[in-house]
Amino acid sequence: MKKLAFLVFLLTLSAFPAQDFRSYQFFDKISKPASPEIMVSELAKYDVILIGEYHDNSINHWLEKKISEALFERKKGAIILGAEMFERDNQKALDSYLAGKLDPKNLKDSVRLWKNYETDYKPLLDFAKDKKLKFIATNVPRKYASQTSKNGIESLSQLPENEKKYMAQLPIEVTLETPGYKEMKTLMGDHVDELKLMNFVSAQALKDATMAESIIENLKAGATFIHFNGDYHSKQYGGIYWYLKKKNPELKIAVISVFESDKPELVLPEKDFVPTEFNLVIPNDMTKTY
């Protein structure tokens, strides 16, 4: 009788689905699951790594730091960090912070910080500070992107030379054939006039081209440049990647793309999916930082 009761208990347990608490899964370019160890080993071979992120996703930011730490160990410190979230004209203040000359409490007075800086980007900056690494403010100052969106990219040529140093060298090639920009046109729909569309796309191109130029200007032989940016800036090998390749076709660049999944087993999208070197899948209900 006891044996029968035990068997009934086991059968009852098996009737309940197993819980899957995975918080992330990496896949390689042929959509096979990839361990973090294998991924880091492969990434160490590249000149540039573009890590796409969802800005408000906590696991995304945690993984950025873990990948940076692992590559620091793997390459014996030969890494450089850089991010979309810091703008070129703030580099001097950023360097002062990294050198310990600027109090953390005063950083916000000298650097335009994102609202999720404390939770999501300060750990990366402090990692660079602790390890005495370069951390490059790669993005164009937001006022120039805003100007482009309103008045067009041609308006930048009227700026004084001392301001142009904060953006990619003009003129900047802008084409709707670039991955991502074509998608912008689709998303905006036919109700948006051509001039407004091109101004909006040009503002994105200004950011991407400036980030690409910032990366190239700070490359060092034997070191890997790890760049943190919104996924849209490098998805499908567009954006920053496209401008990097335009400037230096020989660069070995890896892209880590990110996707959300509502399935417990964390699977890649079934359609409209262009795999990059590594593809991160995270739960769509992962804790958001804002």
For 3-21, the DSSP string reads HHHHHHHHHHHHTSPPP--
pLDDT above 90 coverage of the chain, percent: 81
- SS3 call for 102: coil
pLDDT at 192 over 90: no
102 versus 181: the higher-pLDDT residue is: 102
Q: Look at residue 224 in the predicted model and tell me its pLDDT.
A: 98
Q: Is 223 exposed, middle or buried (0-12, 13-18, 19+ CB in 10 A)?
A: middle
pLDDT at 16 over 50: no
Measured over the CA atoms of residue 27, residue 230, residue 47 and residue 80, the dihedral's sign is negative
Phi, psi of 195 (to 5 degrees): -65, -45
pLDDT at 114 over 90: yes
pLDDT at 118 over 80: yes
For 123-177, the DSSP string reads HHHHHHHHHT--EEEEEPPHHHHHHHHHH-GGGGGGS-HHHHTTSPPSS----TT
Measured over the CA atoms of residue 63, residue 69, residue 73 and residue 76, the dihedral's sign is positive
Q: Residue 190: which pLDDT band, with cuts at 50, 70 and 90? A: low
Q: Look at residue 18 in the predicted model and tell me its pLDDT.
A: 52
Q: Look at residue 183 in the predicted model and tell me its pLDDT.
A: 81
Domain 22-138+219-283 has CATH 3.40.50.11550: yes
Mean pLDDT of 183-191: 75
Interval 134-161: pLDDT, tens: 999 999 999 999 999 999 999 999 999 9
pLDDT at 14 over 80: no
Q: Residue 1: which pLDDT band, with cuts at 50, 70 and 90? A: low
Average pLDDT, the chain: 92
Mean pLDDT of 47-75: 97
Q: Look at residue 221 in the predicted model and tell me its pLDDT.
A: 96
**Extents of the domains making up the chain:** 22-138+219-283
Check if the beta carbon of residue 140 is closer than 8 Å to that of residue 207.
yes
pTM: 0.91
